[in-house]
Chains A and B, each alone.
Chain A
């Protein structure tokens, strides 16, 4: 076995891998938007006093926390079309991106719901009572008093959830989507695996760069948003 590792070639793979950036960003942004919308619904259900809704929301969050994303992806991608076709449907025309976005949305929705629920509960109860006491309605109190404070509490977790989601998009390659890792695999296959270590290190550096940037941006936004606001009761 000859050592074929050439660290100096790592930077040359970065631009080649970055051609996959639009694919990854589409997955990231669409999953983010979908999971924020459904996250609200699950969070509202989890905070609801009606037993059925409450059990459903908490069950959903617990279920998603227990299942590895890879299992969910393969179950949806390989399993769902079988079920559909045995019912007389046909899913062969569905784009692979749809499966990935669906899986990412399903798992991220649970994280987002949990984030919203705990941020809502972290706002001091007295704030809402004070709002009611000056004659605000429930909706006004939520919009003007509770939401702005809950948002400040949720920003760090939101940033963290986006980073988790971004890292999870790396699993898109498992069903053949050409994201960063999908590109990395084709690049390493093109050289019969000779440069595979360099390619994967380059992919790792790209992820690191983005995660690092997301983290810094989150800190800046948090700082700007909470500036001048009284820190919510912790």
Chain B
């Protein structure tokens, strides 16, 4: 019923795909969260025009399933690159774009939208007086934000960011559909010749469960370390 020989043989091969999943997730989170923080600041300080455009962007990204974002990125990116190449007078071979680029772009935009909401509420949770105090000792807005507000906001945002990151790792399973050989794709391809789907997906599930567990633990310990910054938070 369960083919254990197949499992023994395939498991190390699936494990080899873990760095791909983690790599995509880290890249998408790093880029997406920076962009998300930028969106949150633009919307907090109500920068005219840009703030409205980004509000629509966030609404769109949150309303569209990730799989559609992946397909749009997969089909639109080559056109954009090609047209850009033509406009500066060179021909770009778009078939050379690695598949992970599409996945990272789509996941990054998705993370940017969701994390911007997390950062927005976290920035809102930091007492206004903190920024006023920073100004009163002669700090600029930039200094006040980076030295006073961000550490506190980050402490508030931590649990939600952990949730986002677990969601992101689960989302990378969809990168299979744009041709990325991550955990899901590797397991599916290994399963096909012998129809060993149940075995392959049991292993896949186990791997994802372990990764989620570890990520949850890491963010939880990060949360505890950042607790010292939570003193200035109202409520």
Chain A contact residues, CB within 8 Å of chain B:
1, 3, 5, 63, 65-72, 74-75, 78-80, 82-83, 86-87, 163, 167-168, 170-171, 174, 181, 196-197, 200-201, 203-204, 207-212
Q: Is B59 touching A71 in the complex (CB atoms < 8 A)?
A: no
Chain B contact residues, CB within 8 Å of chain A:
1, 59-60, 62-69, 71-72, 75-76, 78-79, 82-83, 94, 166, 170-171, 173-174, 176-177, 184, 188, 191, 195, 197-198, 201-202, 204-205, 208-209, 211-213
Given known pairs A71-B208, A196-B75, the reply for A65 and B166 (CB within 8 Å) is yes
Known pairs A67-B170, A82-B195 / 11 extra A-B pairs, C-beta < 8 Å: A66-B212, A70-B173, A71-B205, A78-B191, A78-B198, A79-B198, A79-B202, A197-B75, A204-B72, A207-B63, A210-B63
Kindly list chain A residues whose C-beta atoms are within 8 Å of the C-beta of B78: 1
Q: Is A197 touching B205 in the complex (CB atoms < 8 A)?
A: no
Main DSSP-derived SS at the B contact region: helix
Interchain nearest-CB distance for B82 vs A (Å): 5
Kindly list chain B residues whose C-beta atoms are within 8 Å of the C-beta of A168: 65
Interchain nearest-CB distance for B35 vs A (Å): 19
Given known pairs A82-B197, A211-B62, the reply for A181 and B79 (CB within 8 Å) is no
Interchain nearest-CB distance for B188 vs A (Å): 7
Q: Is B64 touching A65 in the complex (CB atoms < 8 A)?
A: no
Q: Is A79 touching B76 in the complex (CB atoms < 8 A)?
A: no
Q: Is A208 touching B213 in the complex (CB atoms < 8 A)?
A: no
Kindly list chain A residues whose C-beta atoms are within 8 Å of the C-beta of B69: 204
Kindly list chain A residues whose C-beta atoms are within 8 Å of the C-beta of B64: 167, 204, 207-208, 211
